[in-house]
Amino acid sequence: MVSLRIGGRTHVTTPQHRFWGPRGWVRALDLAVGDRVLAEGGWLPVEGKEILDYDGPIVDLTVPETANFLLGEEGILVHNTTLTKAITGVWTDKHSEEIMRGITIKLGYADAAIYRCPELPDPEAYTTDPSACPGAELKRVISIVDAPGHETLMGTMLSGAAIMDGAILVIAANEPCPRPQTREHLTAVQIIGVRDIVVAQNKVDVVDDRRAYENYEEIRRFLAETPYADAPIIPISAQHNANIDVLLKAIVEHIRVPERDLASPPLMYIVRSFDVNKPGTRPRDLVGGVVGGSILRGKLRVGDEIEIRPGLEHGPGKPWEPIRTVITSLVSGGAMREEVGPGGLVGIGTKLDPSYTKADGLIGRVLGHPGEMPDILLQLEVEYHLLDRVVGLEADVKVEPLRVGEIVTLNVGSATTIGMITRIRESIAEVKLKIPVAAEPGQRVAISRRIMRRWRLIGYGFLV
């Protein structure tokens, strides 16, 4: 680890972690005393540097400022995670079970800055390495959330999609298109409300030209059935970093950055939570729990009193109680911040008991200022719309109508909950939840039904 003293504060980070300097991104390991970096909203000098031995866990939830999100659809290791590494240099499958099984289980995070070199023609001008061109212009800073693609992990994927502005759909050239999983994921992205996608036709290095073109035509016919008919299709080899520059150009040109609401009361979706204390830490040295996610609107500041809803259940039959705490630190854009707003992922240090936040214990909650939060709901009214066919199955199965007494899974924001349908009138379903959610009228909901021992996406709706 590298310990840097910057602007009177100590930052301990990995050697590869990058800081923004006058000539572009600089690794922490390459910084020297006297160098200036952008931190805490201004240019500050590096006042000290020390290399530390460290063998504990690493939590990486720092991303460049004003980033917009991209979701890699096919979470299979040889598809999406390899592409994420090709773009960002970060391998997002970090958990031992993920490495053993070869799939993404938890949401993985990585970030990248996209530059354009004015001295080179397009698309070669696009790169994530500014050192290759001293006059490179910063075009876009992005955060990539690598979501699981395995069919049994659909809830995690939908939670990740809830904070997305755009998506990268990764389709292997050596497989027929669309696979059931691909169809299910693209439907999910559409339901959640993602407007723009870019398609990466991966593994073109393992097929001949004829098969690559056939696969391209399969992809184009598949997209023609969706709102993404005009999405660019970029042939790449993530394994060999081939055509990544073309993909970067497509990301910059085709994925729009939405307008950010800075004036409304803050609201954040929590998609990860951590206990960052090492085992054996003395009680007096313990630090509070950390939550990570995306701010949808408004701003948060160090010292703010915050509330997390629906909070915690304190026993069977007892109502859920919101959690109140104080923000002790904000990490975004590779630096400590005094204030953060929408765009990019943010890590929030709190005074919470770390037992609340360990092992993603607060996933699916929302965070904001007390008195300005969505209601806690144990009963939902959903104006629903069912799909014609069940997506994610090899067979062509029609979606049957919802039934009173049926158990369904609902994805509301970053929360996944199970509920029983208690009443249906016209296109409105009333659902009694097992675990409450904090949500607002008009919010999108994804609806899944258990079919052939798997939860399958069958429709969507809006909270009434």
Q: What is the mean pLDDT of the chain?
A: 80
27 pLDDT above the threshold of 50: yes
Phi, psi dihedrals of residue 223, rounded to the nearest 5° = -65, -30
Same domain (yes/no): 223, 295? no
Same domain (yes/no): 272, 237? no
**Most confident among 16-30, 348-362, 448-462 (mean pLDDT):** 348-362
Same domain (yes/no): 380, 442? yes
Same domain (yes/no): 247, 300? no
The pLDDT, as a whole number, for residue 21 is 75
- The CATH number of the domain where 78 resides is what? 3.40.50.300
Same domain (yes/no): 47, 172? no
The average pLDDT across 188-217 equals 89
Residue 191 Cα distances to 99, 184, 395, angstroms: 30, 10, 22
Same domain (yes/no): 362, 221? no
Residue 412 DSSP symbol? E
Task: Among 326, 343, 368, give the residue marking a domain's end.
Answer: 368
Same domain (yes/no): 109, 169? yes
Q: How many residues does the chain have?
A: 464
Same domain (yes/no): 120, 235? yes
The parent domain of residue 8 ranges over: 2-51
Task: Among 337, 368, 399, give the residue marking a domain's end.
Answer: 368
37 pLDDT above the threshold of 70: yes
Same domain (yes/no): 93, 219? yes
The average pLDDT across 153-158 equals 49
Residue 190 Cα distances to 73, 161, 166, 291, 324, angstroms: 12, 10, 10, 27, 34
SS (H, E, C) 419-432: EEEEEEECCEEEEE
Contact 61, 347 (CB under 8 A): yes
The pLDDT, as a whole number, for residue 67 is 38
Contact 104, 98 (CB under 8 A): yes
Residue closest to 144 by CA, chosen among 11, 56, 238:
238
Whether 262 maps to a domain, the answer reads no
Whether 261 maps to a domain, the answer reads no
Distance CA 173, CA 424 (A): 44
- The CATH number of the domain where 344 resides is what? 2.40.30.10
Phi-psi region of 396 (alpha: psi -120 to 50; beta: other; left: phi over 0): beta
Same domain (yes/no): 98, 222? yes
Identity of the residue numbered 265: P
pLDDT band at 108 (very low <50, low <70, confident <90, very high): low
Task: Among 254, 275, 294, give the residue marking a domain's end.
Answer: 254
Number of domains comprising the chain:
4
Same domain (yes/no): 174, 246? yes
The pLDDT, as a whole number, for residue 6 is 84
Whether 301 maps to a domain, the answer reads yes
390 pLDDT above the threshold of 60: yes
Same domain (yes/no): 96, 143? yes
The average pLDDT across 338-359 equals 89
Tell me how many helices (H) and strands (E) the chain has.
Answer: 7, 28
Which pair of structure tokens corresponds to residue 256? Answer: 């729009």
**Most confident among 74-78, 258-262, 305-309 (mean pLDDT):** 305-309
Whether 260 maps to a domain, the answer reads no
Distance CA 198, CA 111 (A): 17
The average pLDDT across 153-162 equals 49
Whether 57 maps to a domain, the answer reads no
Distance CA 28, CA 4 (A): 8
> Which segments within 90-243 are labelled E, that is strand?
108-116, 126-127, 137-146, 166-172, 196-202, 233-235
pLDDT tens for residues 393-407? 777 789 999 999 999
